[in-house]
Amino acid sequence: MTLELVDPIEWTSVIEQIDGEFGDGVTKSLLGDLVPVVLSRGGSKTFFLIPTEWMYMVTEEEGERLDIQFIGKELGSIAKGRFRMSLQIIGELKELTNAFIIVTKHSAEAFTYGRSILKESVVELNPDLKRGQRVLVLNKDRECLGVASLSIDASILNRLSREKLVGKNLVDIGWFIRRLG
Amino acid sequence: MIERYLALWGEEETLNFLEACELPISSSIRINTLKTTNETVLSRLRSKSVVIEEIPWLEEGFYADFDGSSPGALMEHMLGFYYVQGVPSMTATSVLDPQPGETVLDLAAAPGGKTTHIGQMMQNTGMVIAVEQDRLRMASLKSNIIRCGVTNSLILRGDARKLDYLGFEIDRILLDAPCSGEGLIPLDPTRKTSKTMADVRYCATREDELLDAAVNVLSDGGTIVYTTCSIAPEENEYIVDDILNRYPELEVVEIPIDFGIPGYSEPFGVKLNESLKHSRRFLPHLHGTEGFFICKMMKKEGKVE
């Protein structure tokens, strides 16, 4: 895979998706003084953030170098136009956004086994969040467990029955174990 | 295999070794201070009935008895608060002693225990370059980097014997060479009979090539730590002795941590470089761990004839 600078149009789309889900200026805060670069494979592209002093690796000519697989901090990947946040960045993201849901201890454990979130498990949810919105899933210690997609408008949470689905699991930290054993 | 160890150690020690290989090895963890503190993890694990015991020479390493449950299934593991890692493996990185801001090369890096430990010791500064050839093992390397919050890594896929094109000034190298795994018999008893002298010879050739390639790219004044999970002198002391003969600028240095026993300078009656006594060995019957060899070397500055 080749390390490249990001395409400005594609990067704008990434910023719009991250900021649209998690709040204006969030991408800029995540970026800090790092530089976004991209590794492409097949139809998917993975975005990484690297220090400026590593930039020479982007500009070097292809030779018999070893194949770069991962570099710096993984921001996320884009496939079919949709951006997916990396598990590596969500810990930082939780400090920058109000788009999160806090769940009970039992639900937190279940979420890391790939389960989704029911109304009875919700401890805290910002009422302004809308159906389809992506939210970080936190346990009661505010540790980030993954990302879910809201199945309802948060404003109607208290009108739902206990078993009603509130958040669909998109990715969680137990994924490593399930995938790799 | 047994005949070789009878020749190396004599009957009594070989018997002790074989008996020790039948005993389970204590599980151990390294706490990931990139994400948390020793106190936080120890308190949380103790509340889950995990029995913890310190490892005297490792500040962040602990024996951890999970009482039959899977150490990888706990929330604290998923959060990257600890890494389940053998005592010799975490000792190897401590011996390397990577410093913040340096450029460090980790060869044959998957699944990433030592890479993440290096990133931790460097406090996510400088760069740790992890090289791995195996496509399948690459997935576990990446996921452990992500889980442990290491952000100063560059992962490269390819043959670690072809490092000429790397183009970095390397301060330190950790080579945990793929080996016959004779030291892993306590973890995998089939190795007692599945590994032959031909395997040891094959691995020794590859280990020699890897170490040679690594020494070539190490900067003058740099440090290299060579390790294997084999107890065969042919894969350890013999390899280092050979490289010392080829590279006079390379010297074995003392390891300033107290663990294991000294390496052999006269295995099977073959006289090798005396400085090999500075290397260290873990042995199942003496230390209750898997067998392991650790040798620390420095490349002297300036041209050496």
Model confidence over B183-229: pLDDT tens digits?
A: 777 777 777 777 788 889 999 999 999 999 999 999 999 999 999 99
Number of domains forming the structure of chain B: 1
Tell me whether residue B247 is in a domain: yes
Q: Out of A68, A108, A143, whose CB is closest to B156?
A: A68
Tell me whether residue B39 is in a domain: no
* Structural domains for chain A: 3-91 (3.10.450.220), 98-180 (2.30.130.10)
Return the pLDDT at B2.
Answer: 81
Range of the domain at B214: 87-299
Tell me whether residue B157 is in a domain: yes
> What is the distance between the alpha carbons of residues B55 and B258, in angstroms, rounded to a whole number?
11
Instruction: State the average pLDDT over residues B154-159.
Output: 93
Confidence of residue A64 (pLDDT cuts 50, 70, 90): low
Decide if B229 is catalytic.
Answer: yes
Mutation target to probe the A interface, by most A beta carbons within 10 A, among B154, B155, B165 is B154
Question: Does A73 contact B79 at a Cβ distance shorter than 8 Å?
Answer: no
Indicate if the alpha-carbon torsion angle B51, B54, B60, B61 is positive or negative.
negative
Strand-pair category, B280-282 with B292-299: antiparallel
Tokens of B262: 């000294």
Tell me whether residue B44 is in a domain: no
Strand-pair category, B261-262 with B170-176: unpaired
Tokens of B287: 């230390």
Model confidence over B50-61: pLDDT tens digits?
A: 999 999 999 999
Chain A residue with CA closest to B131: the answer is A66
Tell me whether residue B154 is in a domain: yes
Tell me whether residue B98 is in a domain: yes
Confidence of residue A128 (pLDDT cuts 50, 70, 90): very high
Of the candidates A136, A122, A123, A120, which has an alpha carbon nearest to the alpha carbon of residue A173?
A136
Model confidence over A23-32: pLDDT tens digits?
A: 999 999 999 9
**Residue B302: pLDDT over 80:** no
Tell me whether residue B21 is in a domain: no
What DSSP letter does each residue of B143-206 carry, written as one string? HHHHHTT--SEEEEES-TT--TT----EEEEEEE-----GGGTTT-TTHHHH--HHHHHHHHHH
Return the pLDDT at A127.
Answer: 96
Return the pLDDT at B299.
Answer: 97
Q: What is the number of H-type helices and E-type strands within chain A?
A: 6, 12
Return the pLDDT at B76.
Answer: 97
> Which pTM was predicted?
0.95
- Contact of B235 with B226, CB cutoff 8 Å: no
Return the pLDDT at B160.
Answer: 86
> What is the distance between the alpha carbons of residues B169 and B51, in angstroms, rounded to a whole number?
43
Chain B residue with CA closest to A144: the answer is B79
Chain B hits for A37, Cβ within 8 Å: none
Which domain CATH number covers B181?
A: 3.40.50.150
Chain B residue with CA closest to A181: the answer is B72
Question: Does A143 contact B143 at a Cβ distance shorter than 8 Å?
Answer: no
Tell me whether residue B219 is in a domain: yes
> What is the distance between the alpha carbons of residues B300 and B227, in angstroms, rounded to a whole number?
20
Strand-pair category, A67-71 with A82-85: unpaired
